[in-house]
Amino acid sequence: MSQETIHAAERAAGQVKTMSTYDPDSDQLHEECGIFGVWAPDRDVARLTYFGLRALQHRGQESAGIAVGDGGTVMVRKDLGLLDRVFSNADLSTLSGQLAVGHVRYGTAGAKSWEASQPHLSTINSVIIALAHNGTLVNTDELRRQLIELGVPFLSNSDSEVATKLIGYFTQRTGHLREGIRKTMELVRGGYAMTLINEQALYAFRDPHGIRPLVLGKLVDEGLDQADAASVSQLPSQDGAVTVDATTHVTRAGGWVVASETCALDIVGAEYVRDVRPGEILRISAEGLVSEQGVPAAEEPANCIFEQVYFARPDSIMNGKSVYACRYDMGRQLAHEEPVEADLVIGVPDSGLPPAEGYSHESGIPFGEGLIKNRYVGRTFIEPTQELRAMGVRMKLNPLRDNIEGKRLVVIDDSIVRGTTMVQLVKMLRNAGAKEIHIRINSPEVIWPCFYGIDTDVQSQLISANKTVDEICEYIGADSLAFLSVEGLLKVMPKGGYCDACFTGRYPVAIPESFGRDKFMEGFKPRNLDKPLHFDDDAVVEKYDDRSWEEKHGEA
């Protein structure tokens, strides 16, 4: 039985005829956040972090925060809003130190509140740590309950705070921050990339499937020897820790950066070294860069495929290929799979533009600009009136009538989630004089909920889980509609394993039954449901006498 036949049967069993009313921000995929970390004693780390986060602002617009360590303590400033709203020049001037972590958030787990904003602070005896997290943990309800029973207080219901408190709890038990991180990685499940600082060291670590992205970069002053930068890209081996000598003037005068995307390295002048490996822990301090495998990497990596489809900036590099090139090739493949006779190919800004160019190149249909984006519309705290909300798309896009009037259009967009935005878009193009509108989507249908960092964790919200392609086409008012196949998408992706659960229902990380309950529609068979983990008081006893790491590398 084909995958399409299976999906059709599942849709029929769980058919939902009505869709939600339009909300300007509800019909887009949102990724949880962007993170940035830097160790650079000779630099203004707060400002480096600020500009790194500026490059990652597309990953989260609800809150922003920066924590700085100065060798004696950790200071943090965070608040709701965009970076420019949260930080002034005076704020950054007060955050002086040698290392920092920063965060921009779009919340998928936890309330939209100051308490849920990051970095999260926690105290471990007299030591302060600050953690920034990208992704979603699926088994934190049980872990939070157990921590509360042990007397650990919480300020929010976010999964990120659970991770922070777990690290603090196990660090107190073992006396070593590295062991606290390792034990937490053994317990939590989901997709995550995290950066953490105490007063003197920067840590970075990633889930064993590598679902959420995290890259390592090097700050190198001009004119200094860069020989060790090349050697680091070859390290570490999978079975042992490797230390880079911190006495060389490259490490001392330069520094290290970790970030969600390479575009954040570019803006601060850092050279890309490599991706942080699945399950890896990096520790960066005055001793240099130390790496070890915190938990075993999964047999197959599962990078989030929607990074290349939508989330990441087109100028970022992922798995050795630019995001722009990936999207361009998606458009070329889409033209092969779903051709149509038309006069003009246009893309929905911004992520729809590269695949529109690719579709045009492959089909021979001219590419043109048909939609103008208002570049100064971001997330706002000022609620629009109902009349303005009904206009929806016009707040962000406006049709270029001179280009589209009387023409048969191929309109390329990255995805259809709930469908309400596309209804508005098609209607707007019709009113501007388009003769025909053929919608082409450069990703497969989003049929299954995501539990690893995208805010689509309730399947009934997804139009492709409710309707067939023909029904969606009728609902949005287009002349035709087609999606890129899963096979076609994977064909143009760079080498590496990917999580495509939102298209196929194949979840790489088991979902606890309590977390997945009521998230799937009737007739859809949930994949990978599991029981939550429990940690006992003796959970870390086996590490009490293990001092080998500290003997080699010093205390955390």
304 a known binding residue?
Answer: yes
Distance CA 383, CA 392 (A): 12
Distance CA 80, CA 127 (A): 26
291 a known binding residue?
Answer: no
Q: What is the 3-state secondary structure of 497-526?
A: CEECHHHHCCCCCCEEHHHHCCCCCCCCCC
User: How far is the CA of 526 from the CAs of 99, 298, 398, 448, 506, in angstroms?
Assistant: 43, 21, 40, 9, 9
Known active-site residue 263: no
Distance CA 397, CA 425 (A): 9
Exposure string (b/e) for 374-400, b if CB count within 10 Å is 16 or more?
eeeeeeeeeeeeeeeeeebbeebbebe
Distance CA 434, CA 370 (A): 10
263 a known binding residue?
Answer: no
Distance CA 115, CA 80 (A): 10
Q: Which residue in the block uniquely carries the two structure tokens 């075993």?
A: 296
Among the listed residues 251, 153, 269, 88, the one whose alpha carbon sits nearest the alpha carbon of residue 66: 88
326 a known binding residue?
Answer: no
For residue 258, report the phi and psi dihedrals to the nearest 5 degrees: -125, 145
Helices and strands (H, E) in the chain, number of each type: 22, 26
The three-class DSSP label of residue 124 is strand
Q: Encoding tokens for residue 184?
A: 């937490």
Question: Is beta strand 202-206 parallel, antiparallel or unpaired with respect to 127-137?
Answer: unpaired
Among the listed residues 500, 505, 499, 501, the one whose alpha carbon sits nearest the alpha carbon of residue 524: 505
- Neighbour tally for 149: CB within 10 Å: 8
Distance CA 172, CA 176 (A): 7
415 a known binding residue?
Answer: no
Among the listed residues 61, 131, 107, 102, the one whose alpha carbon sits nearest the alpha carbon of residue 380: 61
Q: List 64's β-bridge partners, or say none.
A: 79, 104
For 338-363, give the DSSP string.
S----SEEEE-TTTTHHHHHHHHHHH
Among 33, 263, 326, 473, the active-site one is 33
- Neighbour tally for 119: CB within 10 Å: 29
127-137 β-sheet, strand order: 120-124, 127-137, 190-197, 202-206, 280-285, 288-293, 242-243
User: How far is the CA of 417 from the CAs of 8, 220, 488, in angstroms?
Assistant: 17, 43, 20
Burial of 222 (0-12, 13-18, 19+ CB in 10 A): exposed
Q: Are 215 and 526 in contact (CB under 8 A)?
A: no
For 399-448, give the DSSP string.
E-HHHHTT-EEEEEES--SSSHHHHHHHHHHHHTT-SEEEEEESS----S
Residues comprising the binding site for Mg(2+)? 351, 413-414
Residues serving a catalytic function are 33
Residues comprising the binding site for [4Fe-4S] cluster? 304, 450, 499, 502
